[in-house]
Structure 1
């Protein structure tokens, strides 16, 4: 006969979560492995001695870990999800009939705790991986990716010039209405003031005019989106968010996630949040410095850095060589080690043209938004009397060559890149750091920053990296080989009359 179960809700008289959650469950094992009791002492100074008790600091960080492990970015959904899972309740230390904290408590606590506390938790987990022989430390791969900010492109406002006194409204209906004077700098956010120089604004205006005159293409955004720039617009919702774009994708307000991954077992060694309008090469010195400090604290030494062309910079090459670090960083395609028709003498520091005229070094010069450059210039009389002047410099009085001051560092980097080992390092970087970035975005809650501000974005990225390292730590098993040595008696003939008895060793694994 057909059965039918009748459900009648009743009060539970005896129930233990520990007996209901299997010991092989991930969160059961994580609860026994991860010790976060040091957080109590680290957060003691953030609370007073009176008032209602706050959320347990360890419980808060466990909530943040669950959010990244379960790929949940909303605090409201996170609390609701934990209330329906017995293993999560056991990991948090809550009974099945005990109420969980409000979602707003998690948000306020995240804002209360400083970035240094999140970094301390990251260092704790990283030290566990080091003690488990998962980190070699000598070689890391670095890469970055944009992460969408919690702000909309549709609500951007135009920055105002930092000028005293009243200003006029630009609306057509209120041309004669005077607005209040601009508030003092202490009452304004830095993102609402134009900080770009005049020549940068002129270049931007020229670029936007070219966009207006260009013929429309299929799939192009509307005219307003084409004229937005970080130099002239900001987000009032999240002033730290910046406009950035990837080839083939729409422009968005993003943060910049920089990541360093150890090549031994793919453990994240460093992660940080940066402004999305900066170049990768600008972040490398800060990443390397903090990475060296973390590795030194764990008695490890950084020897090699693997990165793509975005980190190519003469000052970066010089910095890494000064720190005795080999940089396997691809040189950008515009760099040319040789100038056609000219030979270079490194000892005398001069160029020689095809006519045999020398172009010695004259002076250093720095142009706007460029690095330090070296000027090589031929003598005026030598160029005027040269028979090749009409084809070499028809409109100038002398020939001049401009090279970067870091040219020797570029040459050495290019030699490393073109070597056989350099090609292997490129493949190693691609299979090490790029899958980690994809995992953080797709499975560890880093598809979008659900908080506001660069500090909040840094905390979210740190928690995503902690969750990733913990998953690796829980799955990692030490690889060992069982070896045996057997002594074999060997008889060899030295001659027809003498014999020799020796012993050989055979290794079995």
Structure 2
């Protein structure tokens, strides 16, 4: 019986008479060609890269920043983030060999490039966003805003809170006092025992160790007091313990603003805030500035609701769609009248209750602690509602119903009406728009944690991820060859004499 035939490869020891070029292994539609074309259009000295310009120096020549930037972009697109793995790929990956023209930088050189060029990497990402705008790939009409937690290069044990520090300091003080008491006891019980600690080595060593630990904790506590924070990471000073929806990690809160036309990221920020309540206006205003449009529509989830943030967006001509939380849901569930049952009459500055009575201003406006928002109270005189048939479902135990109106109430009321008209559709659109980039970064690019520490370096690594995501989108939209043609035109314009 004749056995099955299989395709045969070329013998490993075969010597080709016509050796193939590396160029032949990289197709014309390979993304590394787009990376090569884009980086060649950049003026890296202007963008602030280390070793990108200046006078010639003695010693071994440095690796060109352009080559290392190309390596990082290609690596992040290929799910290779580690500097050691990138160094290995330079010796075995034909695409990387082609891109770096055979250069093989060591992992320390590769790691140092990412470590010391954080601001420059941000500048490159910003340049690419402007490139997308020049290509008319940004709609500039609507954006989606969302945030996600990403792990820092720090463990849970590295984070210590103010409360924990205070407890540890108190315990150390008790331990030191106990050791001193032991010394006094020994002095009293044993005649001739030296009083100096240098001759009682065990207790002396323990006290010295505790005193050193006490000094470290006191320094950390002072650092917290100076910064106003309640926690600090001893590994990454800018990382924080974050909790949201059952998720708990030590890391950063990454914010993205995504344009609605082609799902391109137009603005991003790295924060260590534990929630998104202060992120709406900064994201929306920054995205509007990048898009350079007179008005903009922004959609975000319920975690972004903040009256002051909504007011700032309205003042900047940004129409926001955010779910309005129902703070009086419990009252409604109990069959009681919530604040929504009272109608505000702007012409007379009064509230009309369901019993057709008016609630007038009561007392002086006050600012609520924490938010700083100005509130005005509205109420009826004491005892005025005792004969009302709705008294049982309206009046609290004090016997006097009060309504507090925020200085931002008109903005919230307009938002509530917009959400009633278009809310469900806008939220579905937002989910499909802004959650796509985070899903791509985590699943397709295989990225879920930062490899560097500190805001400046973390911003740089995030810039690489955003750049890789946007570049992938542009290649899918235009194609590699069309993008290379545009880059050639862009380079020629840059090289034209001023």
Q: Which residue of 2 aligns with 1:254?
A: 251
Q: Which residue of 2 aligns with 1:450?
A: 451
TM-score (norm 2): 0.75
Of 69, 73, 96, which aligns to 1:88? 96
Shift of 1:10: 7.6
Shift of 1:447: 0.8
CA deviations on 1:79-128 (whole Å, 9 max, x unpaired) are 21232111222122x22xx4x1111212222222242x223211222233
| Residues 51, 162 of structure 1: alpha-carbon distance in 2 compared, 3 angstrom cutoff | farther
Shift of 1:383: 2.8
Q: Which residue of 2 aligns with 1:364?
A: 365
CA deviations on 1:39-88 (whole Å, 9 max, x unpaired) are 13433776764354333111221122122201122111122123211122
| Residues 332, 196 of structure 1: alpha-carbon distance in 2 compared, 3 angstrom cutoff | farther
- In the TM superposition, what are the counterparts of 1:29-68 in structure 2 within 5 Å? 29-43=34-48, 49=55, 50-52=57-59, 53-68=61-76
Contact 1:241 1:275 in 2 (8 A): yes
Shift of 1:154: 2.5
Of 5, 28, 34, which aligns to 2:33? 28
Shift of 1:160: 7.9
RMSD value, Cα: 3.7
Structure 2: how far apart are the matches of 1:8 and 1:190?
A: 66
Shift of 1:384: 6.6
Q: Which residue of 1 aligns with 2:211?
A: 179
Which structure dedicates a bigger proportion of its chain to helix?
Answer: 2
Shift of 1:405: 2.3
TM-score (norm 1): 0.73
- Number of residues of Structure 1 aligned to a counterpart in Structure 2: 430
| Residues 237, 366 of structure 1: alpha-carbon distance in 2 compared, 3 angstrom cutoff | same
Structure 1: how far apart are the matches of 2:310 and 2:340?
A: 25
Shift of 1:189: 6.5
Q: Which residue of 2 aligns with 1:489?
A: none
Q: Secondary structure at the match of 2:235?
A: coil
**Structure 1 unaligned spans of 5+:** 198-229, 479-509
Does residue 405 in structure 1 map to residue 407 in structure 2? yes
Q: Secondary structure at the match of 1:476?
A: helix
| Residues 445, 56 of structure 1: alpha-carbon distance in 2 compared, 3 angstrom cutoff | farther
Structure 2: how far apart are the matches of 1:283 and 1:394?
A: 36
Contact 1:295 1:302 in 2 (8 A): no
Structure 2: how far apart are the matches of 1:191 and 1:86?
A: 53
**Structure 2 unaligned spans of 5+:** 180-206, 330-336, 480-498
| Residues 318, 35 of structure 1: alpha-carbon distance in 2 compared, 3 angstrom cutoff | same
Q: Which residue of 2 aligns with 1:316?
A: 309
- In the TM superposition, what are the counterparts of 1:242-391 in structure 2 within 5 Å? 242-249=240-247, 251-277=248-274, 279-296=275-292, 300-334=293-327, 339=339, 342-353=342-353, 354=355, 356=357, 358-378=359-379, 380=381, 382-383=382-383, 386-387=386-387, 391=392
- In the TM superposition, what are the counterparts of 1:135-154 in structure 2 within 5 Å? 135-154=138-157
Q: Which has the higher contact order (CA 8 A, sep 6+)?
A: 2
Contact 1:122 1:462 in 2 (8 A): yes
| Residues 256, 340 of structure 1: alpha-carbon distance in 2 compared, 3 angstrom cutoff | closer
Structure 1: how far apart are the matches of 2:220 and 2:113?
A: 24
| Residues 113, 144 of structure 1: alpha-carbon distance in 2 compared, 3 angstrom cutoff | same
